[in-house]
């Protein structure tokens, strides 16, 4: 029997709906469509979502970030995570790619792009570095691994681990790498890390503590948790683009910037995919571990990436340019990995 999943979907729900093809397509691609509509709304109506707009994004975004992390902690099934904890070789590969090799590739891009591209806007360089230091996704990495008949427990453990430690490691790497590359502005790191901890680790930990009491209710309403988180992400994306439009940033750079960014995103995804493949073959990982290592290593989380970007770069009017690489990387990774998961599911072994 052929296993199929939707190729483009929200960041946390890959289950196909029993509906007519147009309705099914809309549901499967709802989050991607929402990203486009959020950007379009910002171009049409930037005032309310700008820094001093009536929506007060500085307050609502902080509340939204804490809500997303609380819901992630509430939804994380630690009993399933523990079952994949013993496979240290798999953990080493995935975490090394997530927080070491991927960032090194980002530094390489930071060096090469100005020579190949020419005059690269600094926020785009920041955006690629930021993309490269983000954690993996949780739900889609696990679902794709399961569809391809890989090590699902190992994928869940590593995806969850990278998100938990990524709350601290990602801003640390942003601080270190952007200082080294000269691409980012200096930031007061101590207060920033404290703010990130209060708005991310604290609600995430609270969600994990409450999960044993609320487990049945949370699991029964998982779709609503996803919808709330995705809605908050769309609001943050809208406000980020509002600021850049108010500052006339997009008029200065033009549409060609978008095309170039998409091209670099495709090169980055291809390069990292090849590196993961070569490394897993060299380490002689078995089929199940290889599948888990691949899906967890090449994927980057938009769900965590947007809130963290708001905390790290929130004072910058060019935040929308910083978010551009991860916004293009997100649908690309879903599309390509969806195809691969279906192909690998057909193979014996």
pLDDT tens across the length of the chain (349 residues): 344 444 444 444 444 445 567 777 777 778 888 889 998 999 899 989 887 788 888 888 889 888 988 988 888 877 767 766 778 899 999 999 999 999 999 999 999 999 888 788 899 999 999 999 999 988 889 889 988 999 988 998 898 899 888 888 998 898 888 765 554 444 566 777 788 778 888 888 899 899 999 888 888 888 888 889 889 989 988 988 888 888 777 777 777 888 899 999 999 999 999 999 999 999 999 999 999 999 999 999 998 899 899 888 877 888 889 999 999 999 999 889 988 998 898 887 6
Residues present in the chain in total? 349
Cα–Cα distances in angstroms (integers) from residue 68 to residues 218, 229, 230, 314, in the given order: 14, 5, 9, 17
Give the per-residue pLDDT at 3.
Answer: 40
Give the per-residue pLDDT at 15.
Answer: 46
- CATH 3.40.309.10 is right for the domain spanning 55-210+239-344: no
CB 305 within 8 A of CB 69: no
Q: Could you write out the DSSP letters of every residue in 227-265?
A: HHHHHHHHHHHHHHHHHHHHTTHHHHH-THHHHHHHHHH
Residue ranges per structural domain of the chain: 55-210+239-344
Q: Give residue 56's region: left, alpha or beta (phi > 0; psi -120 to 50).
A: left
Q: How far is CA 28 from the centre of its chain?
A: 18
Q: What is the pTM of this model?
A: 0.80
Unique residue bearing structure tokens 């379009």? 40
Give the per-residue pLDDT at 97.
Answer: 96
Give the per-residue pLDDT at 101.
Answer: 97
């Amino acid at each position: 029997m052929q296993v199929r999943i939707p190729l483009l979907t929200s960041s946390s729900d890959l289950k196909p709906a029993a509906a007519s093809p147009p309705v099914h397509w809309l549901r499967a691609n709802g989050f991607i469509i929402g990203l486009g509509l959020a950007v379009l709304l910002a171009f049409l109506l930037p005032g309310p979502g700008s820094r001093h707009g009536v929506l007060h994004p500085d307050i609502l975004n902080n509340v939204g970030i804490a809500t997303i992390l609380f819901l992630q902690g509430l939804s994380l099934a630690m009993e399933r995570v523990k079952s994949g904890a013993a496979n240290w070789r798999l953990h080493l590969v995935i975490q090394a790619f997530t927080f070491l090799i991927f960032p090194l590739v980002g530094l390489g891009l930071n060096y090469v792009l100005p020579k190949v591209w020419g005059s690269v806007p600094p926020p785009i360089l920041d955006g690629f570095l930021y993309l490269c230091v983000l954690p993996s996704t949780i739900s889609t990495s696990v679902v794709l691994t399961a569809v391809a008949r890989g090590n699902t427990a190992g994928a869940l453990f590593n995806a969850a681990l990278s998100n938990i430690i990524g709350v601290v490691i990602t801003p640390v790497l942003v601080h270190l790498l952007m200082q080294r590359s000269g691409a980012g502005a200096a930031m007061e790191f101590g207060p920033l890390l404290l703010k990130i901890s209060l708005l991310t680790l604290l609600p995430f930990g609270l969600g994990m503590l409450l999960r044993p009491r609320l487990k049945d209710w949370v699991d029964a309403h998982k779709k609503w948790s996803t919808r709330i988180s995705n809605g908050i992400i769309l609001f943050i994306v809208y406000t980020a683009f509002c600021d850049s439009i108010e500052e006339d940033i997009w008029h200065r750079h033009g549409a060609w910037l978008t095309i170039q960014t998409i091209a670099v995103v495709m090169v980055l995804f291809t390069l990292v995919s090849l590196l993961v493949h070569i490394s897993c073959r060299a380490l002689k990982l078995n089929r199940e571990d290889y599948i888990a290592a691949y899906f967890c290593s090449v994927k980057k989380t938009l769900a965590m990436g947007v809130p963290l970007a708001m905390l790290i770069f929130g004072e910058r009017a060019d935040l929308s340019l910083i978010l551009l690489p991860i916004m293009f990387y997100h649908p690309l990774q879903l599309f390509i990995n969806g195809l691969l998961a279906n192909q690998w599911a057909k193979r014996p072994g």
